[in-house]
Amino acid sequence: MGHVPPPQHFDPESEEPLDAYVVLAAAAAKWGLVAGRIERATRDRLAELLDLVRAGGRDPDIRFDAARQAAGLLRERVPEEFGEDAGARLVATPAADGRVTVQGFAPEDLAILLIDGHRMVGPVLGPVRERLLAQPALDAEELRRCGGDPFAPDLIRLRGTGGQVRLPRFQFSEDTLPWPVVLEVNGLLAADRDPWGAADWWLSANAWLGTSPARLLGTGRDRQLADTARFLMEDE
């Protein structure tokens, strides 16, 4: 077998009319426009292939082959956007880490959109996702071992690499019981529908509180935390 480019990285010497990773990145950038034009069976197959593409510990040959197959499906189903004639309209640029991007969207962003089912991708929301996922967190199995329920109502659950469930650590006291005020505020912030927005509220500096809300947990200011969140939601 000949040389296989590193997965999810730009290959300027590719012999294909449109590099597979460019197609995946472009599909992520255009997902709002093309998602409705891809039927369920093709979506399911794309999800299987994209799961291989983003798998960190797999054989790079397998990942690249999966990327080529996924790109082929997109070219076949939406040729006007991803076919050979579309190449001139898709401007790909290598990011600082070598990955190919199209309009700031990377190939793995398509996996997040299609498999994980949220839109924290691209040049604006992608950095927010990375910042939130970099915070201390428990995975579902860790919390179960400590006697907790990772799927209890009003807990923030974020999808990390490979779709793994991550529960931000600030939600729990030292014995891994949820802070009651966290559950109250998460309910106010509709964390079940917008876990990323709720996590961002807790972990970002708040002008009214003078610090991030998460830093005030256990300081006796529970009522202020709840009132601040309630005021925010009423104001919207």
Per-residue pLDDT of 136-185, as tens digits, reads 999 999 999 989 999 999 999 999 877 789 999 999 998 789 999 999 99
DSSP label of 114 = I
Query: Does residue 12 carry a pLDDT above 60?
Result: no
pTM: 0.81
Enclosing H/E stretch for 45: helix 40-53
Chain position carrying tokens 């917008």:
194
Tell me the C-alpha distance between 25 and 50, whole Å: 12
Other C-beta atoms lying within 10 Å of the C-beta of residue 168: 23
- Domain locations in the chain as residue ranges: 20-117, 132-235
Asked whether the beta carbons of 114 and 46 are under 8 A apart, the reply is yes
Let me know how many helices (H) and strands (E) the chain has, helices first: 11, 5
Please return the burial class of 105, using the count of CB atoms within 10 Å of its CB with bins 0-12, 13-18 and 19+: buried
Confidence of residue 61 (pLDDT cuts 50, 70, 90): confident
Which three-class secondary structure state does DSSP give residue 74? helix
Nearest by Cα to 7 from 113, 116, 108? 108
